Amino acid sequence: MAATTISIEQDQFCCSVCLEVLRDPVTIPCGHSYCLDCIEDYWNRAKQKGQYSCPQCRQVFNPRPLLSRNTVLGEVVETFLKSGARQLSSKPEEVACSVCTVRRKRAVKSCLVCSESYCAAHSRVHEERFHEKAHRLVPAVDQLKEKLCQHHDKPLRLYCRTDQQSVCSQCVRERHKGHDAVSLVDERSTQQKKLQEASLKSVQKLKDTEKELRYVVRYIKHSTEAAVEESERVFSRLIRSIEKQSSEVKEVLRVQERAAVSQAEELLEKIQREILELRRAGAELERISQTEDHTGFLQKCKSLHFPTKTVEMPSTDALQYMMYKTLRGALPNLKDSLDETLEREFNRISDKVMSLKEPSNTGVSEKTKGSKRHGDPIQLRTEDKS
């Protein structure tokens, strides 16, 4: 837990050879620690000539010490890297060292001449290398070249609102003299506030639009459902009307049928009575024909009558014409007329519905505002002949 409080600027975990955090740390007899590969490479150099010294205190060891990994120090370094270095690398406002290769440490200085940033260890190396040259070191700055004035090599700490660009202090005194200049912090605060307000307005507008669109969707579904129900009611009434007309036509046919059948049955009864009378007269004729009394036969035969009447039959041709030919022509004509009427009205309604297209996105508000005026379902008007 103590490792989490260690600052990364402490170089007690850095190898003095590679200037980076220790990797596979080993401790030599003098007590100094190095990376295993670094100290082996250092001792394998030809200039050592069989003498193995410490790179820091120069203490000489002979024979060559046996190297083994310092387990405790390795665990401390590993804990330090997890708790300290990883947290450091996750902070976007901190600048990384331009020289570190394996594990880039936080930079503390930036050179205006080299345009690079250095950690504490590499900063000391830079100062030793260029101590006689005019290399100007400033606090660490990320993307140094972009944050320096191209004309004066000074940090861009001001913002010219007149020309809409970042400037240095010398630019304000020369090229941007008399312009509206403020600090970068103030300008950022102003722009950030404007952007946040614009973002909130944009989000709110989209939320309002989303709410209106959801209402439009519900309104369309409700109106469509109402139109479907109304169409079902209208077509149900139309079907009932057709069924009623069909029933009435059947009843007319049945009435005509009963009248014609009644007339034919009356004639049939009359013919049956006459047949019965003829049979009686025939039986009487058979009886008197067997007598030998010629005078009696002549007297009795005068009362026997066998008429040959012609019965006028009902006109089946007229009935067939009414019941078949008339309906055969009238009902298909009625069907064709009804089909034409339904198709014409359906096309008219379809064209009217298809013409009711949704307006553009800019018209959503007008659509929703007028929804109450047009909230009634579509009415399909038809005459109910029933």
The Cα 67–Cα 41 span in angstroms is 13
**pTM of this prediction exceeds 0.75:** no
User: Does some domain include residue 157?
Assistant: no
Residues 219 and 350 in one domain: yes
309 in any annotated domain: yes
Whether 117 maps to a domain, the answer reads no
Q: How many domains does the chain have?
A: 2
Query: Does a structural domain hold residue 149?
Result: no
273 within domain boundaries: yes
In a shared domain, residues 216 and 356: yes
Average pLDDT by stretches of 10, the chain with 386 residues: 42 69 86 86 68 83 85 81 49 67 74 75 79 69 68 78 85 84 85 92 94 94 90 90 88 84 88 87 84 82 76 65 66 82 83 66 45 42 40
CA atoms of 325 and 314, how far apart (whole Å):
18
Within a domain: residue 104? Answer: no
- Give the helix/strand (H/E) hosting 227: helix 184-288
Does a structural domain hold residue 365? yes
Mark whether 218 and 361 lie in a shared domain.
yes
Closest listed residue to residue 301, CA positions, set 316, 291, 309, 310 = 291
Q: What is the CATH number of the domain that holds 76?
A: 3.30.40.10
Distance CA 214, CA 208 (A): 10
Q: What is the pLDDT of residue 6?
A: 43
Residues of the domain holding 10: 2-89
Structural domain includes residue 154: no
